[in-house]
């Protein structure tokens, strides 16, 4: 289910969209650039191994999101601000740990929404 307050997707929805071959065909050029850069960050940074160009992947994603006038979620801000602190084996963490992090950030965002 999509988080209605901030329009964020969680792991199961993202995996479902990744598997949908029709989804990219529905996007305009700007949206497709954002989608492709998001997929590049997921596969080249958030899985088991960081790509050598992971910083560029994140910067490209943020540039493409900005072109779509997307607001930066707290999770994306933390990702961007602390790129050098993430371990090389990001994806080695369990789904449970990832969901726990997601819930913690959602609670934080709800507490400080609008401030």
Band the pLDDT of 5: cuts 50, 70, 90. very low
Residue found by looking up tokens 């994603």 in the block: 61
Q: How far apart are CA 34 and CA 62, in angstroms?
A: 8
- Per domain, the residue ranges of the chain are 11-111
What pLDDT does 26 receive?
Answer: 93
Q: How far apart are CA 59 and CA 76, in angstroms?
A: 11
**pLDDT tens string 43-66:** 887 766 678 888 898 889 989 988
């Amino acid at each position: 289910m999509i988080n209605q307050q901030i329009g964020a997707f969680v792991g199961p929805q993202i995996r479902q969209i990744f598997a949908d071959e029709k989804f990219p065909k529905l996007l305009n050029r700007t949206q497709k650039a954002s989608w492709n850069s998001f997929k590049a960050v997921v596969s080249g940074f958030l899985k088991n191994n960081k790509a050598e160009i992971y910083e560029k992947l994140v910067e490209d994603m943020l540039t493409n999101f900005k072109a779509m006038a997307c607001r930066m979620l707290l999770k994306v801000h933390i990702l961007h601000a602390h790129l050098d602190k993430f371990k090389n084996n990001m994806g080695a963490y369990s789904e449970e740990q990832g969901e726990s992090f997601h819930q913690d950030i959602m609670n934080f965002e709800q507490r400080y929404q609008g401030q």
